[in-house]
Amino acid sequence: MEYTKNHYDGEVKIVVEESFDDAAFDIIDTKLDASMTSIYDIIMTVDGEATQPNSKVQIKIPLPKDYDPSYSSVYSVNTETKSIEKMPTKY
């Protein structure tokens, strides 16, 4: 995570948890026809409280050995607006 020194007061952490949100799975399956999916909530916290980051966050997702990354994409899923946005990735 990159941010200006002293931008946040307190302990900054990234919390990653696998999500089993049926609404998110439905959106992905409907809009992308992608049934083989993993969903993760990635939340930034300051002193344990969730916050919207005003910074650059880099997430690394390990892929199985000999896996072809061209079969993978990373999306941001918004269940409130029922929208998805493809995120920039590199392998």
The tens place of each residue's pLDDT in the chain, 91 residues long, gives: 666 666 677 788 888 888 888 888 888 888 887 767 788 888 888 888 887 766 677 778 788 888 888 878 888 888 889 998 998 888 8
- The answer to whether 40 and 19 are in contact (CB under 8 A) is yes
Residue 24, sorted as left (phi over 0), alpha (psi -120 to 50) or beta, turns out to be alpha
38 vs 11, 15, 18, 42, CA distance in Å?
Answer: 28, 16, 8, 13
Q: Which two tokens stand for residue 58?
A: 């880099």
Nearest to 27 by CA among 18, 17, 19, 35: 35
φ/ψ of 24, rounded to 5, equals -65, -45
pLDDT the model gives residue 81: 92
Whole-model pTM?
0.65
Cβ atoms of 78 and 84 closer than 8 Å: yes
User: What tokens were used for 51?
Assistant: 């916050």
Q: How many CB atoms lie within 10 A of CB 24?
A: 19
